[in-house]
Amino acid sequence: MKALLLVDLQNDFGNFGILEIKGTSEIIAIANQMIDVGYFDCIVASQYAHPADLKNFAANHFFRYPNQVIEINGIPQRLWAIHCIEGSFGAEFMDNLQIKGVHKIIQRSIDATRGSYSCFNSEKTAINESELAIYLHKQEVEEVFILGVNIEYAIKDTALDAASMGFKTFLLEDACLAANLDTLEDGRLAILELQKAGITLLDSDQLML
What's the CATH number where 42 sits?
A: 3.40.50.850
Q: Which 3 state secondary structure label does DSSP give 148?
A: strand
Within a domain: residue 58? no
Strands (E), 36-178: 42-48, 69-72, 75-78, 104-108, 143-149, 168-177
Residue 135: partners with Cβ closer than 8 Å, 6 or more residues away: 44, 104, 106
With respect to residue 117, please indicate whether it lies within any of the assigned structural domains.
yes
Point out the residues of the chain with pLDDT beneath 50: none
Confirm if 172 and 204 have CB atoms less than 8 A apart.
yes
Is residue 72 domain-resident?
A: no
What's the domain range around 102? 2-49+85-207
Q: What is the pTM of this model?
A: 0.94
Number of domains making up the chain:
1
Residue 8 has a pLDDT of 97
Taking the alpha carbons at both ends of the chain, their separation in whole angstroms is 18
Give residue 123's pLDDT: 62
Q: Nearest-CA neighbor of 5 among 187, 160, 179, 144?
A: 144
- Does a structural domain hold residue 154? yes
Write down the pLDDT at residue 124.
60
Residue 78 within any structural domain of the chain: no
Residue 76, domain member (yes or no): no
